[in-house]
Amino acid sequence: MASSPGLAALLLLALFAGPAASRFAPADNHLIACGATGPVLLPDGRRFVPDNGCASMTLRSAAPALPSAAPDAPAPPSPLHAAARVFSCHASYDLAVRRRGHHVLRLHFYPFSPALASARFHVGAGGFLLLHNFTASSPVVKDFLLPVDADVLVLTFVPEAGSAAFVNAIELFSAPEELVGDIGTLVAADGVNRTDGLSSQVFETLYRVNVAGRKVTPFNDSLWRTWVNDEGFLVDKESSSSKAWSFGGRIAYPKDSRLMTREVAPDNVYNSARSVRSDGNLTWDFPVPAGNRYLVRMHFCDIVSKALYQLYFSIYVNDHLAVKDFDISSTTGYLAYPYYIDYVVDVEDEGMLKLAIGGSKMSRPGEASGFLNGLEIMRMNKTGGGMDGDFPGALDMEYLFSKGIGEFARSLLCGLVFAGLFLVLVMLVMRLRTELKNNGTLWFSQSMDSGDGKLAKAYQLVPTKTDY
Ligand SMILES: *[C@@H]1O[C@H](CO)[C@@H](O)[C@H](O)[C@H]1NC(C)=O
Ligand SMILES: *[C@@H]1O[C@H](CO)[C@@H](O)[C@H](O)[C@H]1NC(C)=O
Ligand SMILES: *[C@@H]1O[C@H](CO)[C@@H](O)[C@H](O)[C@H]1NC(C)=O
Ligand SMILES: *[C@@H]1O[C@H](CO)[C@@H](O)[C@H](O)[C@H]1NC(C)=O
Ligand SMILES: *[C@@H]1O[C@H](CO)[C@@H](O)[C@H](O)[C@H]1NC(C)=O
């Protein structure tokens, strides 16, 4: 793999042309290629190491295609997608944590066989249920931001009865402190209010959007994030009162600021924007699972004005007025100066999150009045037990197993159920039993850290992010 000319060239690019990507060095940085036989090198310069586990099985797909020249071809799958670790029973990874605090956890699922696409399972981390009854029927990266207050993060995979669990890759790295604030603005029908305690919540990022800009890949983002263009979410693409902007100058990140750095969002997000005139509205619609609380982070950087104090605009979150005649110049004091606002909003039955900026009469008619550069939409956890709440009892069977019957019997029983559905894998289950007998319980830990019988409901609304 690493010797292929395409990858080597990309690696060179990463070394010599990736200023943003090399800047941030997280204290914890686990990059795991599950089921891989050797290290996997990504175009963004990162090296994923194989998980070399026992008591689970590895599944491999045909070697993923390397980037092709055809401009319209679908983005090539990541080399991480060539192999998966498949679990027939409850299994865990113990990830050492050197520095407690917020961590980014990304789980890559690439169902390259029908058995994987229909696998139904639960994923917990540190006793907290992240994915409940989850199915990755198409390629998806689940992206979480969570506080970690232990020296080990136990990441647990629990298959539903008769199914298996799988994962292709795991990223767990320390998040920069400035990424998570504690205070946001709660927007509701009866007005806005300050809300705090955000830093203790768990977030699942559903959307990262670069407004009027090109797609940003992990190569150009110091936290290896992917940002997509906003056009697919824009309600009125043809609106005559809106305009797209791009900026070739330098983004003025505040000097020595510990709150606003390139890690919050990369240059490529701040150097493009969409503006709206004083007589118009610019609206984006995002399908989201209903019945959740969301953190909406709106990124602003005035690359639109030639002078200060010309822009005033309103911001609407789910049709509620969040701020009227917002004066960005007074807030930042400079042009091309990045800034963001965190809004918190409850989405009830609509299943749609509507975000808008609207012009103000305080701006000059016919000129840009308001603008937006970037957006992040993160789902917040419902309870202290899981993203979707507590589901006591739902995991009881698994529970009994881990408390009562021994490891071997458990894997045997689990293996039998499993074999019914995944005939192809039966041989491997046999191997798994042998391995369990021989070299212990590395993967099937006795105490179930994510357990506590808490389960939650799963959603799969994240748009497919196959490419890197
Ligand atoms: C998971 O979903 C399936 C199908 O919707 C359902 O039959 C099953 O009971 C669910 N399991 C749990 C633990 O909620
Ligand atoms: C804002 O929140 C505080 C504390 O939770 C509450 O006392 C107050 O009534 C709220 N104000 C509005 C306008 O909702
Ligand atoms: C990174 O960003 C630069 C500047 O916008 C762009 O020219 C380059 O193509 C980007 N690289 C990748 C791999 O996205
Ligand atoms: C913009 O949208 C808001 C909220 O939907 C609405 O109240 C306002 O009248 C709209 N303004 C214009 C100019 O359409
Ligand atoms: C979300 O999880 C955190 C950490 O377990 C917890 O402190 C917080 O109260 C939870 N949020 C809600 C709304 O229950």
pLDDT of 224 above 60:
yes
The answer as to whether 118 is a domain residue is: yes
pLDDT of 89 above 60:
yes
Q: How far does residue 45's CA lie from ligand 4's centre (Å)?
A: 45
Q: Which atom number of ligand 5 is nearest to the Cα of residue 385?
A: 5
Q: In terms of domains, do 100 and 34 share one?
A: yes
Q: Which pLDDT score is estimated for 423?
A: 39
The answer as to whether 181 is a domain residue is: no
Q: Which residues have CB under 6 Å of ligand 5?
A: 128, 200-202, 381-384
**Lowest model confidence (mean pLDDT) among 75-89, 368-382, 393-407:** 393-407
Q: In terms of domains, do 223 and 358 share one?
A: yes
Q: In terms of domains, do 407 and 323 share one?
A: no
Q: In terms of domains, do 53 and 156 share one?
A: yes
The domain boundary, picked from 346, 380, 414, lies at 380
What is the mean predicted confidence (pLDDT) over 456-461?
20
pLDDT of 66 above 80:
no
Domain of 287, in residue numbers: 203-380
| Interatomic CA distance for residues 242 and 371, integer angstroms | 9
Strands (E), 256-337: 272-277, 281-287, 292-301, 313-317, 320-326
Q: Which pLDDT score is estimated for 441?
A: 25
pLDDT in tens, 252-276: 988 888 888 989 999 999 999 999 9
When divided into structural domains, the chain yields a total of 2
Is 319 touching ligand 4 by the criterion CB < 6 Å? yes
> What share of the chain has pLDDT > 70, as a percent?
73
The answer as to whether 308 is a domain residue is: yes
Q: Which atom number of ligand 2 is nearest to the Cα of residue 188?
A: 14
17-31, 35-49, 381-395, 414-428 — which one is most confidently predicted on average? 35-49
Smallest-distance ligand from the CA of 391: 1
Q: Which pLDDT score is estimated for 78?
A: 82
What is the mean predicted confidence (pLDDT) over 173-202?
96
pLDDT of 405 above 70:
no
Q: How far does residue 220's CA lie from ligand 3's centre (Å)?
A: 6
Atom 11, ligand 1: which residue's CA is nearest? 133
The answer as to whether 449 is a domain residue is: no
Atom 10, ligand 2: which residue's CA is nearest? 193
pLDDT category of residue 454 using cuts at 50, 70 and 90: very low
pLDDT of 429 above 50:
no
| Interatomic CA distance for residues 381 and 198, integer angstroms | 11
List the end-to-end C-alpha distance of the chain, in Å, as a whole number.
17
**Contact in structure between 67 and 30 (CB atoms under 8 Å):** no
Token pair belonging to 245: 């902007």
Q: In terms of domains, do 399 and 366 share one?
A: no
Q: How far is CA 224 from CA 23, 30, 31, 172, 181, in A?
A: 11, 13, 12, 12, 20
Phi, psi of 330 (to 5 degrees): -65, -30
Count the Cβ atoms, other than its own, within 10 Å of residue 33: 28
Q: How far does residue 104's CA lie from ligand 3's centre (Å)?
A: 23
Q: Is 231 helix (H, G, I), strand (E, B) or coil?
A: helix
Q: Which pLDDT score is estimated for 414?
A: 52
The answer as to whether 188 is a domain residue is: no
Helix or strand run (H / E) with residue 401: helix 396-403
Q: Which atom number of ligand 5 is nearest to the Cα of residue 383?
A: 14
Q: Which pLDDT score is estimated for 434?
A: 34
The domain boundary, picked from 331, 351, 380, lies at 380
Q: Is 405 helix (H, G, I), strand (E, B) or coil?
A: coil
The answer as to whether 197 is a domain residue is: no
CATH number for position 89: 2.60.120.430
Q: How far is CA 295 from CA 89, 128, 129, 211, 298, in A?
A: 34, 19, 19, 18, 10
Is 369 touching ligand 3 by the criterion CB < 6 Å? no
Q: Max alpha carbon distance in the chain (Å)?
A: 77
Q: In terms of domains, do 48 and 163 share one?
A: yes
Token pair belonging to 426: 């039966």
Q: How far does residue 227's CA lie from ligand 4's centre (Å)?
A: 28
Q: In terms of domains, do 160 and 212 share one?
A: no
Q: In terms of domains, do 84 and 112 share one?
A: yes
Q: In terms of domains, do 374 and 404 share one?
A: no
The answer as to whether 213 is a domain residue is: yes
Q: Who wins on pLDDT, 297 or 350?
A: 297
Looking only at the bridges linking them, the beta strands covering 313-317 and 320-326 are antiparallel
Q: What single-letter DSSP state applies at residue 41? A: E
**Contact in structure between 444 and 437 (CB atoms under 8 Å):** no
Token pair belonging to 326: 């917002």
Q: In terms of domains, do 160 and 286 share one?
A: no
Q: In terms of domains, do 365 and 422 share one?
A: no
Helix or strand run (H / E) with residue 355: strand 352-359
| Interatomic CA distance for residues 409 and 437, integer angstroms | 11
**Lowest model confidence (mean pLDDT) among 140-144, 272-276, 446-450:** 446-450
pLDDT of 118 above 60:
yes
Atom 9, ligand 5: which residue's CA is nearest? 384
The answer as to whether 195 is a domain residue is: no
Is 242 touching ligand 4 by the criterion CB < 6 Å? no
Q: In terms of domains, do 373 and 415 share one?
A: no
| Interatomic CA distance for residues 326 and 135, integer angstroms | 42
Q: Which pLDDT score is estimated for 257?
A: 83
